[in-house]
Chain A
Amino acid sequence: MTMPWKNTPIRRKLMMALLLTGGAVLLPTCAAFITYEVITLRKAMMEGYQTRAEIIAANSAAALAFQDPADATRILGAFQTDPRVTGACLYDGNGKLFAEYPANALPGFFPAAPGASGYRGGHLDVFRPVVQGGRTLGTVYLQSDLSALTDRYRAYAWLAAAIITVSLLLVYLLSSLLQKQISLPILALAETARSVAHRRDFSLRAQKFGDDELGLLTDAFNRMLAEILAQDRALKASEANYREIFEKANEAIFVHEIETGRVLEVNQRAVDMTGYSREELTSAHPADISSGNPGFTREEAGLRMKRALSEGPQVFEWQGRHKDGGIHWIEVSLSRAVIGGKERLLAFFRDIGDRKRAEELARLGQAHAIENIKDYGILMLDVQGGILTWNKGAERMKGYQAAEIVGRNFSVFYTPEDRAKGRPQELLEAARREGRVEEEGWRVRKDGSRFLVDVIITALRNEKGELRGFIKVSRDVTEVKKAQKELQEKTELLDSILKNMGDGVVVADEKGNFIVFNPAAQRIAGKGPVAGGAGQWSEKYGVFRPDGVTPCPPEENPLAKAIRGLDTDDVEQFLRNPANPEGIFVSVTGRPLRDGKGEIRGGVVIVRNITGRKKAEAEVRQTNEFLNAVLENIPNMIFVKDAQELRFVRFNRAGEELLGIPRGELIGKNDYDFFPKADADFYIAKDRKTLEGGKLLDIPVETIQTRHQGPRTLHTKKFPVLGPDGKPQYLMGISEDITEFKRQEQLTIYTKALEVSNKELQDFVFVVSHDLQEPLRKIQSFGNFLKEEAGSALNETAADYLARMQDASQRMGRLIEDLLQLTRITSRAKPFEPVELDQVLREVGSDLEIRLQETGGKVVAKKLPRISADPAQMHQLFQNLIVNALKFRRAETAPVIEVEAEADEVKNLCHIRVKDNGIGFDPKYSEKIFNIFQRLNGSEYEGTGIGLAICRKVVERHKGAIRAASQLGEGATFEITLPLRQS
Chain B
Amino acid sequence: MPILTPPGQRWAFHLRLVLFLLWAGASPLWAQEGVPKEYQIKAAFLFNFTQFIQWPSGAVAGAGGPFCIGILGDDPFDGFLDETVRGEKVDGHPLVVRRCGSPREAKDCQVLFISPSESKRMEDILAELKGRNILTVGDSEEFAQKGGIIRFVTKENKIHFRINLRAARQAKLTISSQMLRLAEIVQPGKE
- Point out residues on A near B: beta carbons under 8 Å: 59, 61-63, 65-68, 71, 132-133, 135
Q: How many A-B residue pairs have CB under 8 A?
A: 29
Q: Does B1 contact A (CB under 8 A)?
A: no
Closest-by-CB residue of B relative to A66 is: B182
Cα A67 to Cα B179 in complex, Å, equals 11
A61 engages B178 (CB within 8 Å): yes
Q: Select which of A62, A65, A132, A135 is within 8 A of B181 by beta carbon.
A: A62
List 14 additional contacts besides A71-B181, A71-B182; criterion CB under 8 Å: A59-B178, A61-B52, A61-B178, A62-B52, A62-B178, A62-B179, A65-B48, A66-B48, A66-B161, A66-B179, A66-B182, A67-B158, A132-B51, A133-B90
Closest-by-CB residue of A relative to B178 is: A62
User: Could you jot down 27 A-B contacts, CB within 8 Å?
Assistant: A59-B178, A61-B52, A61-B178, A62-B52, A62-B176, A62-B178, A62-B179, A62-B181, A63-B178, A63-B182, A65-B48, A65-B51, A65-B52, A66-B45, A66-B48, A66-B161, A66-B179, A66-B182, A67-B41, A67-B158, A68-B182, A71-B182, A132-B51, A132-B52, A133-B51, A133-B90, A135-B51
Cα A63 to Cα B178 in complex, Å, equals 8
Contacting residues, chain A, for B179 (C-beta < 8 A): 62, 66
Cα A67 to Cα B37 in complex, Å, equals 14
Cα A114 to Cα B161 in complex, Å, equals 30
Q: Which 7 A-B pairs have the closest CB atoms?
A: A62-B178, A65-B48, A133-B51, A62-B179, A68-B182, A66-B182, A132-B51
Q: In angstroms, how far is the closest chain B Cβ from the Cβ of A510?
A: 132
Cα A132 to Cα B52 in complex, Å, equals 9
Q: In angstroms, how far is the closest chain B Cβ from the Cβ of A409?
A: 153
Q: In angstroms, how far is the closest chain A Cβ from the Cβ of B41?
A: 8
Contacting residues, chain A, for B90 (C-beta < 8 A): 133
Closest-by-CB residue of B relative to A61 is: B178
B158, B176, B178, B182 pick with most chain A CB within 10 angstroms? B178
Q: In angstroms, how far is the closest chain B Cβ from the Cβ of A368?
A: 166
Digit string of B172-188 for contact with A (CB within 8 Å is 1, else 0)?
00001011011000000
Digit string of B92-122 for contact with A (CB within 8 Å is 1, else 0)?
0000000000000000000000000000000
Q: In angstroms, how far is the closest chain B Cβ from the Cβ of A944?
A: 100
Contacting residues, chain A, for B51 (C-beta < 8 A): 65, 132-133, 135
Contacting residues, chain A, for B178 (C-beta < 8 A): 59, 61-63
Contacting residues, chain B, for A135 (C-beta < 8 A): 51
Contacting residues, chain B, for A65 (C-beta < 8 A): 48, 51-52
Contacting residues, chain A, for B161 (C-beta < 8 A): 66
- Point out residues on B near A: beta carbons under 8 Å: 41, 45, 48, 51-52, 90, 158, 161, 176, 178-179, 181-182
Cα A733 to Cα B51 in complex, Å, equals 115
Contacting residues, chain A, for B45 (C-beta < 8 A): 66
Q: In angstroms, how far is the closest chain B Cβ from the Cβ of A363?
A: 157
Closest-by-CB residue of A relative to B41 is: A67
**Helix, strand, loop or mixed for chain B's interface?**
helix
Cα A569 to Cα B129 in complex, Å, equals 147
Cα A64 to Cα B45 in complex, Å, equals 11
Q: In angstroms, how far is the closest chain B Cβ from the Cβ of A259?
A: 124
Contacting residues, chain A, for B176 (C-beta < 8 A): 62
Contacting residues, chain B, for A59 (C-beta < 8 A): 178
Q: In angstroms, how far is the closest chain A Cβ from the Cβ of B90?
A: 8
Cα A67 to Cα B160 in complex, Å, equals 10
Cα A71 to Cα B160 in complex, Å, equals 13
Q: In angstroms, how far is the closest chain A Cβ from the Cβ of B88?
A: 8
Q: In angstroms, how far is the closest chain B Cβ from the Cβ of A884?
A: 103
Q: In angstroms, how far is the closest chain A Cβ from the Cβ of B47?
A: 9
Q: In angstroms, how far is the closest chain A Cβ from the Cβ of B163?
A: 12
Q: In angstroms, how far is the closest chain B Cβ from the Cβ of A364?
A: 161
Cα A61 to Cα B48 in complex, Å, equals 10
Q: In angstroms, how far is the closest chain B Cβ from the Cβ of A653?
A: 111
Closest-by-CB residue of B relative to A64 is: B48
Closest-by-CB residue of A relative to B177 is: A62
Contacting residues, chain B, for A67 (C-beta < 8 A): 41, 158
Contacting residues, chain B, for A66 (C-beta < 8 A): 45, 48, 161, 179, 182
Q: In angstroms, how far is the closest chain B Cβ from the Cβ of A134?
A: 8
Cα A62 to Cα B90 in complex, Å, equals 16
Cα A66 to Cα B158 in complex, Å, equals 11
Contacting residues, chain B, for A61 (C-beta < 8 A): 52, 178
Q: In angstroms, how far is the closest chain B Cβ from the Cβ of A58?
A: 8
Closest-by-CB residue of B relative to A70 is: B182
Cα A59 to Cα B90 in complex, Å, equals 20
A61, A63, A65, A132 pick with most chain B CB within 10 angstroms? A65
Cα A858 to Cα B88 in complex, Å, equals 125
Q: In angstroms, how far is the closest chain A Cβ from the Cβ of B89?
A: 8
Closest-by-CB residue of B relative to A59 is: B178
Closest-by-CB residue of A relative to B161 is: A66
Q: In angstroms, how far is the closest chain A Cβ from the Cβ of B5?
A: 25
Q: In angstroms, how far is the closest chain A Cβ from the Cβ of B110?
A: 15
Closest-by-CB residue of A relative to B176 is: A62
Q: In angstroms, how far is the closest chain A Cβ from the Cβ of B115?
A: 21
Cα A531 to Cα B161 in complex, Å, equals 132
Q: In angstroms, how far is the closest chain A Cβ from the Cβ of B45?
A: 6
Cα A68 to Cα B156 in complex, Å, equals 13
Cα A63 to Cα B176 in complex, Å, equals 12
Cα A65 to Cα B49 in complex, Å, equals 9
Contacting residues, chain B, for A68 (C-beta < 8 A): 182
Q: In angstroms, how far is the closest chain B Cβ from the Cβ of A728?
A: 112
Q: In angstroms, how far is the closest chain A Cβ from the Cβ of B55?
A: 13
Q: In angstroms, how far is the closest chain A Cβ from the Cβ of B132?
A: 23
Cα A785 to Cα B48 in complex, Å, equals 109
Q: In angstroms, how far is the closest chain B Cβ from the Cβ of A959?
A: 95
Cα A133 to Cα B85 in complex, Å, equals 13
Q: In angstroms, how far is the closest chain B Cβ from the Cβ of A65?
A: 4
Q: In angstroms, how far is the closest chain B Cβ from the Cβ of A61?
A: 6
Closest-by-CB residue of A relative to B183 is: A66
Closest-by-CB residue of B relative to A65 is: B48
Cα A562 to Cα B158 in complex, Å, equals 145
Cα A742 to Cα B148 in complex, Å, equals 118
Closest-by-CB residue of B relative to A71 is: B182
Cα A71 to Cα B180 in complex, Å, equals 12
Contacting residues, chain A, for B52 (C-beta < 8 A): 61-62, 65, 132
Q: In angstroms, how far is the closest chain B Cβ from the Cβ of A72?
A: 10
Cα A289 to Cα B178 in complex, Å, equals 142
Cα A59 to Cα B181 in complex, Å, equals 10
Cα A168 to Cα B178 in complex, Å, equals 59
Contacting residues, chain B, for A132 (C-beta < 8 A): 51-52
Q: In angstroms, how far is the closest chain B Cβ from the Cβ of A646?
A: 118
Contacting residues, chain A, for B48 (C-beta < 8 A): 65-66
Contacting residues, chain B, for A133 (C-beta < 8 A): 51, 90
B41, B52, B158 pick with most chain A CB within 10 angstroms? B52
Cα A74 to Cα B52 in complex, Å, equals 20
Contacting residues, chain A, for B182 (C-beta < 8 A): 62-63, 66, 68, 71
Q: In angstroms, how far is the closest chain A Cβ from the Cβ of B135?
A: 15
Contacting residues, chain B, for A63 (C-beta < 8 A): 178, 182
Closest-by-CB residue of A relative to B91 is: A133
Closest-by-CB residue of A relative to B50 is: A133
Cα A62 to Cα B48 in complex, Å, equals 8
Q: In angstroms, how far is the closest chain B Cβ from the Cβ of A69?
A: 10
Q: In angstroms, how far is the closest chain A Cβ from the Cβ of B111?
A: 15
Q: In angstroms, how far is the closest chain A Cβ from the Cβ of B119?
A: 24
Cα A59 to Cα B45 in complex, Å, equals 18
Cα A677 to Cα B161 in complex, Å, equals 140
Cα A579 to Cα B31 in complex, Å, equals 134
Cα A68 to Cα B48 in complex, Å, equals 13
Cα A685 to Cα B179 in complex, Å, equals 123
Closest-by-CB residue of B relative to A60 is: B178
Q: In angstroms, how far is the closest chain A Cβ from the Cβ of B167?
A: 19
Cα A773 to Cα B93 in complex, Å, equals 101
Q: In angstroms, how far is the closest chain B Cβ from the Cβ of A2?
A: 73
Q: In angstroms, how far is the closest chain A Cβ from the Cβ of B52?
A: 6
A63, A66, A71, A132 pick with most chain B CB within 10 angstroms? A66
Q: In angstroms, how far is the closest chain A Cβ from the Cβ of B143?
A: 18
Q: In angstroms, how far is the closest chain A Cβ from the Cβ of B70?
A: 20
